[in-house]
Amino acid sequence: MMQKRIMVIDDDRETAESISEFLVSKGWDVSLFYSSKEVFANQDNRADVIIVDFELPDIDGTLLLQELLGENPDATGIIISANPAWEIRQKALEIGAKYFFPKPINLNLLAERIK
């Protein structure tokens, strides 16, 4: 079975690193970014799963995810947010996210969705 490539984009370093470490422990290849600027500076943004925080300091996370899904049409998009408002969940699903996870994230459930 091919190893999944996962992008994690979250300006909250503690959350981002915690998600990344957990996913790496599951055997997946994880690229970690703290801003959209870092993502766009990266030469290779191919991924099977793209996890984006809704509230990034330099861009709306749904806009970033929408752009990345355009480059990776077969990828699974996931929005994460400390704000569990229904409107955020709805916006995430409208732009093509498959899942929305409120923070703190249930990492075991996240891994199940990625599988």
Q: Which amino acid is at 35?
A: S
Distance CA 100, CA 53 (A): 10
Closest CA relative to residue 12, chosen from 69, 63, 81, 72: 81
Structural domains of the chain, count: 1
For residue 45, what are the domain limits? 5-114
The domain that holds 17 is classified in CATH as: 3.40.50.2300
Q: What is the CA radius of gyration of the chain?
A: 13
Average pLDDT over residues 85-95: 92
Residue 2 pLDDT: 65
The string of pLDDT tens digits covering residues 45-64 is: 999 999 999 999 999 999 99
The three-class DSSP label of residue 18 is helix
Distance CA 37, CA 92 (A): 21
Average pLDDT over all residues of the chain: 95
